[in-house]
Amino acid sequence: MNQEVGSIMSCFYQLFPCRVYTKEVPENFAIPSLYFPEPFSFDSNDTTSTFKKTYNLSVKLFHKDSQKASDEAERIADAIRTKRNLIPLLKPDGAETGDYIRISRIETRVADSGVAIIQLTWDSRYYYEKEQYTPLQDVGVDSGVK
């Protein structure tokens, strides 16, 4: 799991403290609960130094019935929206880094009886590997007037 998904999980847990699943949802899972699958991503060019990955994460919120699941999902989405779609980026130990994840799109919908989905989309930028080279040290220029 990457650092961004862990930060999103922490944010959701603070807004809706319940059992969180990341691997698979067991047969007798707790209600209410959240399920965080691995996000899917696709890449694109960004700058001459970076490439961009767009992540899409579908979080499932399980509750007693569809109405409660939908209400909680919308409450979580609105809490993120009111913070300008910014989620603090956390270190693995849980401390804030001072950076943020900007959610570009958040939507909610009912998926099944007692299940709501919170769909998140965000972009991350990564540097290209730089080639190792020996820097130019001394340059001599011989110039003459013709």
Q: Considering the domain 3-127, what is its CATH architecture?
A: 2-Layer Sandwich (3.30)
pLDDT of residue 48: 87
C-alpha to C-alpha distance for 54 and 121, rounded to whole angstroms: 7
Q: Rounded to whole angstroms, what are the CA distances from 22 to 31, 34, 87, 145?
A: 15, 9, 19, 74
Residue ranges per structural domain of the chain: 3-127
3-state secondary structure 83-107: CCCEEEEECCCCCEEEEEEEEEEEE
pTM: 0.83
pLDDT of residue 54: 96
What residues pair up with 21 in beta bridges, in sequence order?
Answer: 35
pLDDT of residue 11: 96
- Peptide bond before residue 32 is cis, with ω within 30 degrees of 0: yes
Nearest one of 101, 78, 77 to 88, comparing CA atoms: 101
pLDDT of residue 146: 64
C-alpha to C-alpha distance for 89 and 57, rounded to whole angstroms: 16
pLDDT of residue 45: 84
**Per-residue pLDDT tens digits of the chain, which is 146 residues long:** 689 999 999 999 999 999 999 988 888 899 999 999 999 999 988 888 899 999 999 999 999 999 999 999 999 999 999 999 999 999 989 899 999 999 999 999 999 999 999 999 999 998 888 888 787 778 877 777 76
pLDDT of residue 135: 79
| H-state helical runs in the chain | 3-15, 66-81
